[in-house]
Structure 1
Amino acid sequence: MTLAGDADRSKAIVTLRDATVEGRLTLDEFADRVERAELARTFADLESVTADLPSTGAADLPVKHGAWFSRLQRSGRWELAPASKVLSVCGTIELDLGRATLHGAETVMRVRNVFGTITILVPRGVEVSVDGSDAFGTREIDLPDTGPVGDAPRLRILTSGVGGTLRVKTSGERPGAGE
């Protein structure tokens, strides 16, 4: 039994990051496996984290997600394009990225919200930035204090609109759970 060192754990985490941006792991799988890699004591522990990476086939990725006076909910296993647009006009949108597959080291989500509610549920460890402005809008950004995992996929959310509500929360939380 050979003990693994910090450099070995870091190499495994880079492998997991690369598999995630290639679309082989969901963000939840990435977070789970990074945690297991950080706790690994032996090479066998590290190999078990990276040995069985699933492969996925190519898919047509939806670039636009919208709700006009309606509701859109995405959860479970789905794929998010590297540059996506989200539009809500008096609608409700919930995007759960917990089992979503990303196709790049950085995903940019352009959010336009006109008197709607958009909730984006993000797994622990993903680097998230929110930028932009919303006239008469509300932003509720509630992410854990632990911060992103090193070399984790990045999600950039660029917002615009009038009178809407944007919520960005950890994927274990459902909208309205703490209200």
Structure 2
Amino acid sequence: MSDSFVEQRREEVIDILTDAFSRDIIGTEQYELRVEEANRRNSVEELNQLVSDVQGLGGGSTALQRYPDPGMQTVRSIFSSQQMDGDWLVHDHVQVNSVFGSTTLDLRRPVLGPLTTITLTAVLGDVKIIVPRGVKVTVDVTPVLGEVKRQNEDQKLLQQVKGFISSFLGEGNEIEPVNPHSHPAARVQVSGQAILGSVYIITKR
């Protein structure tokens, strides 16, 4: 993690704390203590901890980041393809229907809350879910004459399971999510079924 990235996050954290103080979300003592801590800490993870209880609050401030709202958004690929990238995540639950189609969900740029739930149905189609390193992924998918694969950032196959699987993925060295505003303990839960289709969990920087 570069020093410039840590310094940028330090400034953002102090902005978030200042905004929270101005809104009476935290008091004077907490504000002063946290700003002092922000100037001492030297990693994004440590800085994120200082605002984990306030950065999902607030209204229209640009400094005070919001996690995705509770609710469901739907992504459909019927005889077509869709690629969701950039800051596309609006709700914390995503319903994916890929029928004779291809769907890619890229979770590297959106702000992730503590839990992002993805429910999918792939029928003669495929669903690719790209997650940043350090985000834990729980998978409970039932392939019916289909497949579920886990790939690392170099696209090398790490795991292939045919039949019913329920495994915990994403263990290893913790590296910050690409979007530094994400919840420090962000995780993704994937469930559903792949009928003559494929599901890929791809970890990238």
TM range, normalised to the smaller chain? 0.5 to 0.7
Separation (CA, whole Å) in 2 of partners of 1:23 and 1:112:
33
Separation (CA, whole Å) in 1 of partners of 2:110 and 2:57:
9
User: Unpaired segments of 5 or more residues in structure 1?
Assistant: 25-51, 173-179
**Contact 1:118-1:167 within 8 A present in 2 as well:** yes
Q: TM-score, normalised by structure 2?
A: 0.56
State the one-letter code of the partner of 1:153: A
**Distance change >3 Å, CA 105–CA 64, structure 1 → 2:** same
Q: 1:146 aligns with which of 151, 165, 172?
A: 172
Separation (CA, whole Å) in 2 of partners of 1:57 and 1:154:
13
**Distance change >3 Å, CA 10–CA 165, structure 1 → 2:** closer
3-state SS, counterpart of residue 50 of structure 2 = helix
Q: 1:85 aligns with which of 95, 99, 117?
A: 95
Paired-residue identity, %: 23
**Contact 1:77-1:99 within 8 A present in 2 as well:** yes
Aligned length: 142
Q: 1:98 aligns with which of 97, 108, 133?
A: 108
Does residue 1:14 correspond to 2:49, yes or no?
A: yes
Q: Deviations over 1:135-163 (max 9, x none)?
A: 01111112476344594201000021311
* Corresponding residue for residue 139 of structure 2: 130
**Distance change >3 Å, CA 166–CA 11, structure 1 → 2:** same
Q: Quick check: 91-100 or 75-84, which moved more? A: 75-84
Does residue 1:108 correspond to 2:143, yes or no?
A: no
CA apart distance, 1:72: 0.6
Q: TM-score, normalised by structure 1?
A: 0.63
* Corresponding residue for residue 84 of structure 2: 74
CA apart distance, 1:133: 0.7
* Corresponding residue for residue 167 of structure 1: 200
User: Unpaired segments of 5 or more residues in structure 2?
Assistant: 1-36, 153-169, 177-183
What's the RMSD between the two structures over aligned residues?
Answer: 3.7
* Larger CA Rg, structure 1 vs 2: 2
* Corresponding residue for residue 13 of structure 2: none
**Contact 1:127-1:147 within 8 A present in 2 as well:** no
**Contact 1:82-1:107 within 8 A present in 2 as well:** yes
